[in-house]
Amino acid sequence: MASGVEVLRFQLPGHEAATLRNMNQLRAEERFCDVTIVADSLKFRGHKVILAACSPFLRDQFLLNPSSELQVSLMHSARIVADLLLSCYTGALEFAVRDIVNYLTAASYLQMEHVVEKCRNALSQFIEPKIGLKEDGVSDASLVSSVSATKSLLPPARTPKPAPKPP
């Protein structure tokens, strides 16, 4: 840039959120969509550039297969895949706590690290390490769900058997 030239710079607050909303509206209207992600019964129409920006896995698939349709084989329900793909447009993801491992696994497969990190952090709130003693008295470190753990890991107290009387 030439010296002595005055430059104006504007930061546009909310631009990212507005752009995502507009892209999601275009997707909902199926405008400018250039790919269909197929997973079981799911057919998700979207924009390669948005999906590739959120998922390195999808980016690589688009590079390897320039087709307008991409088959994705996941062990999870089509709903989970749809939710994850939609989150690329909304920046939000909502699901039942009981499904967290399924979302974590699917997001890992899709290499959606931002979702994986959020799921791991949320999961750590529901799982805490507990240390107890096995029956043989050896320490046993294990993970126990704090939501469902209602019993102590320590074995129940034993009452010693009386020693046999000498003859």
The segments of the chain whose pLDDT lies below 50 read 141-160
**11 within domain boundaries:** no
The reported pLDDT for the residue numbered 128 is 64
Would the pTM count as exceeding 0.75? no
Residue indicated by tokens 């507990």: 130
The reported pLDDT for the residue numbered 79 is 92
CATH number of the domain at 100, please.
3.30.710.10
The reported pLDDT for the residue numbered 74 is 73
**94 within domain boundaries:** yes
Say how many domains are in the chain.
Answer: 1
The reported pLDDT for the residue numbered 11 is 94
**50 within domain boundaries:** yes
The reported pLDDT for the residue numbered 157 is 40
**96 within domain boundaries:** yes
The reported pLDDT for the residue numbered 100 is 95
**156 within domain boundaries:** no
Residue indicated by tokens 């087709």: 67
Domain hosting 62: range is 16-126
